[in-house]
Amino acid sequence: MGEFDLIARYFSRPVPEGYLGAGDDCALLPLRPGRQCVVSTDALIEGRHFLPEVDPLTLGHKSLAVNLSDLAAMGATPSGCVLALALPEVDEGWLSQFSEGFYRLANEFDCPLIGGDTTGTDHGIMICVTVFGHVTPGTALLRSAAQSGDDIWVTGSLGAAHIALKLLQGALPHNDSLLAKTRPMLEQPCPPCLFAAQLPGLAHAALDISDGFLQDLGHIIKASQCGAHVIFDHLPIDPAIRNLSEETVQEAVLSGGDVYQLCFTAPPKHRDAIETLAQQFHTEVSRVGSITGGGGLLVETLDGRRVTCANMGYQHF
Ligand code: ADP
Ligand code: MG
């Protein structure tokens, strides 16, 4: 199968009115009057971001999910995406599953695939997705916008993706039922896009938790030149991992990556509005601490024990 047949068969589903999809030199995407364009791109490399044997349906989902998560972290609404693929071979079974997983999520969040690039490679698979979104000018949720006295919130739960990865890597003892419960969190993350798009005006700073809660919250306090006080007992530990040893749970929750949920800060006066929004969009939210004037990042239990974590999260280099 040639490159053009491949694109026509797997990556050329119809796009909404006002868009131009695959087939010309560029795609066209409508601009929304009075809005600012938000852009992000993420590359996924075989062996580094996903295991070679991963189910292509979930890989298609995850390739877009990690990008939608970045849009959510800005409080943006998705408007479209492009996909660059480098493939060592044309495997139609793989392609049809990958594209199905990708399109399902794209449809769910109204983020049409409007173009891309397809090439061969002598190395492993590389998947690069760029997403476009929109936000009211001046309201995007910047990492630098946290203020002393803000509450710190986390959506969803923490730790399950990390435990699934450890199980798949053989770094934790074999456990089929634990893997079955945690694997979807690793392979099919669901960023809270609809909830996040309503946060501008309520929240100050936000980011998506991709490299680990502590490391990512560290980015907010550094950019905002403030400190943070987190109550460990208030962190949303994923129910599937609660029975593991205290040390394992702490590491998974504080430094486990691949979460693709949000950490955001907001003034206490918006607590009720945030809870209502969360209910409206079926999003779990936990208030886990507060932003302080300085003093770094402190994690304590309710009874005042300091929680430390040797591993601060994932770093690529
Ligand atoms: P060009 O030669 O201008 O780079 P291509 O031949 O690479 O164009 O691509 C032809 C058309 O197919 C373009 O409109 C491009 O956006 C689209 N396309 C290529 N690969 C993909 C893909 N993986 N997903 C979606 N659209 C794609
Ligand atoms: Mg091209």
Q: How far is the CA of 37 from the centre of ligand 1 (A)?
A: 22
Residue 1: which pLDDT band, with cuts at 50, 70 and 90?
confident
Answer yes or no: do 150 and 85 share one domain.
Answer: no
Helix (H/G/I), strand (E/B), else coil: 238: coil
Structural domain including 231 reads 143-300
Give me the residue label for tokens 């199968």: 1
Answer yes or no: do 77 and 195 share one domain.
Answer: no
- Residues 168-199 have pLDDT tens digits of 999 999 999 999 999 999 999 999 999 999 99
Residue 5 in contact with ligand 1 by CB distance below 6 A: no
Looking at residue 259, its pLDDT comes to 96
Residue 191 in contact with ligand 1 by CB distance below 6 A: no
**Residues flanking ion ligand 2, Cβ below 5 Å:** 117
Residue 117 in contact with ligand 1 by CB distance below 6 A: yes
Q: How many CB atoms lie within 10 A of CB 67?
A: 27
Helix (H/G/I), strand (E/B), else coil: 34: coil
Q: Which two tokens stand for residue 179?
A: 């893997």
Residue 311: which pLDDT band, with cuts at 50, 70 and 90?
low
Between strands 297-300 and 227-231, the pairing is: parallel
Residue 316 has pLDDT above 60, yes or no: no
DSSP assignment of 71-138: HHHHTPEEEEEEEEEEESS--HHHHHHHHHHHHHHHHHTT--EEEEEEEE-SSS-EEEEEEEEEE-TT
- Residues 6-30 have pLDDT tens digits of 999 999 999 999 999 999 999 999 9
Is residue 49 annotated as involved in ligand binding? yes
- Compute CA 189 distance to the chain's CA centroid, rounded to the nearest angstrom: 7
- Residues 62-98 have pLDDT tens digits of 999 999 999 999 999 999 999 999 999 999 999 999 9
Residue 253, domain member (yes or no): yes
Average pLDDT, the chain: 95
Q: Which two tokens stand for residue 129?
A: 């997705």
Give me the residue label for tokens 């006080």: 229
Answer yes or no: do 90 and 208 share one domain.
Answer: no
Residue 105, domain member (yes or no): yes
Q: Which one of 135, 167, 193 terminates a domain? A: 135
Helix (H/G/I), strand (E/B), else coil: 31: coil
Test site for ligand 1: of 3, 7, 67, 87, most ligand atoms within 8 A of the Cβ: 7
Looking at residue 9, its pLDDT comes to 96
Which CB contacts under 8 angstroms, 24+ apart, belong to 62-65?
Answer: 62/101, 62/187, 62/188, 62/189, 63/98, 63/102, 63/127, 63/129, 64/102, 64/105, 64/106, 64/111, 64/129, 64/131, 65/105, 65/188, 65/189, 65/190, 65/191, 65/260
Answer yes or no: do 272 and 207 share one domain.
Answer: yes
Answer yes or no: do 196 and 97 share one domain.
Answer: no
Q: Which two tokens stand for residue 253?
A: 């929750």
Q: Which one of 135, 170, 198 terminates a domain? A: 135
Answer yes or no: do 161 and 270 share one domain.
Answer: yes
Q: How far is the CA of 58 from the centre of ligand 2 (A)?
A: 25
Looking at residue 295, its pLDDT comes to 83
Domain count, the chain: 2
Helices (H), 109-212: 160-168, 176-187, 193-197
